[in-house]
Amino acid sequence: MTPETSNEPVVYRGADGGDKFVECIIQEQDNIEQKFKHCEPMNMTGSDCQSFRKATLCRICKKEHADIRVREHCHVTGKLRGATHNNCNINYKFTGRIPVVFHNLRGYDIGCMDFIDSLQFMSSSLQKLMENLAKKGSNKLRHMTSHFGEELINLLLRKQVYPYEYLDSEAKYVEPQLPPIEDIYSTLSGDGITTLDYAHAQHV
């Protein structure tokens, strides 16, 4: 995934949110399929040629090169990705299946898309995972940073406050401010939020 092959995130709110999601994701599938129907010719720079000559390991299988190596490039952008074994290059191709990472959803497919439940890969709570990501810095989230910028990304590197139980009608979604802190309460956990969390939510 590169800036050339990714799109702006879609933000939508409304009673037909589910329908809009399906509409957008099917459109995304169509866009991906169209991109892979065309193979952009390879465009090598001088530094690419040097990197290719100096490469000792196949960029795909990570094993040493034999006498013969080939140039493996992105079929969407035309950019060289590295030197590979011929067999590795031949087998390294778009399978026609598109993985979609979705939190807490699995066993569901749309067209060529296979949904992968991100919850199955998480060994900790969402809050703990976000804390770990924040320690690594925004450079580990280059796609999010490219969309939101360095200043805003720091606000997103933590679990956000969301008044799930308060939002029980469509009218509340268009309120211009947060509900009072005492209204942000979870009957499931039996807890509200701290004043520090509330201040963060107001800032966001």
The verdict on 87 and 183 lying in the same domain is: no
Among the candidates 56, 86, 120, a domain finishes at 120
The verdict on 174 and 116 lying in the same domain is: no
**Looking at the domain assignment, is residue 137 inside a domain?**
no
- State the Cα–Cα distance between residues 163 and 192, nearest whole angstrom: 10
The verdict on 115 and 197 lying in the same domain is: no
SS (H, E, C) the chain: CCCCCCCCCCCCCCCCHHHHHHHHHHHHHHHHHHHHHCCCCCECCHHHHHHHHHCCECCCCCCECCCCCEEEECCCCCEEEEEECHHHHHHCCCCCCEEEEECCCCCCEECCEEEEEHHHHCCCCHHHHHHHHHHHCHHHCHHHHHHHHHHHHHHHCCCCCCCCCCCCCHHHHHCCCCCCHHHCCECCCCECCCHHHHHHHHHC
Instruction: Give yes or no for residue 8 having a pLDDT over 80.
Output: no
Q: Which of 76-80, 82-86, 149-153, 166-170 has the lowest mean pLDDT?
A: 149-153
Residue 142: pLDDT band with limits 50, 70, 90? confident
- For the segment 91-112, the average pLDDT, to the nearest whole number, is 82
Give me the number of domains the chain comprises.
2
Query: pLDDT value at position 1?
Result: 54
Query: pLDDT value at position 4?
Result: 59
Contacts of 193 (CB under 8 A, 6+ apart): 161, 181, 184, 201
The verdict on 6 and 100 lying in the same domain is: yes
| Residues 168/183, Cβ–Cβ less than 8 Å | no
Instruction: Give yes or no for residue 109 having a pLDDT over 80.
Output: no
**Looking at the domain assignment, is residue 10 inside a domain?**
yes
- State the Cα–Cα distance between residues 57 and 85, nearest whole angstrom: 9
Residue type, 22: V
b/e string for 106-118 if b means 16 or more Cβ within 10 A?
eeeeeeebebeee
Q: Which residue has the tokens 């942000």?
A: 184
| Residues 83/71, Cβ–Cβ less than 8 Å | yes
The verdict on 92 and 190 lying in the same domain is: no
Q: List the domain range (segments joined by +) for residue 190.
A: 170-203
Based on its alpha-carbon atoms, the radius of gyration of the chain, rounded to whole angstroms, reads 22
The verdict on 196 and 113 lying in the same domain is: no
- For the segment 77-88, the average pLDDT, to the nearest whole number, is 92
- For the segment 163-192, the average pLDDT, to the nearest whole number, is 89
Residue 83: pLDDT band with limits 50, 70, 90? very high
**Looking at the domain assignment, is residue 101 inside a domain?**
yes
The verdict on 107 and 198 lying in the same domain is: no
Query: pLDDT value at position 187?
Result: 87
Residue type, 1: M
Q: Which residue has the tokens 């196949």?
A: 58
Instruction: Give yes or no for residue 15 having a pLDDT over 90.
Output: no
Query: pLDDT value at position 20?
Result: 92
The verdict on 18 and 108 lying in the same domain is: yes
Residue 2: pLDDT band with limits 50, 70, 90? low
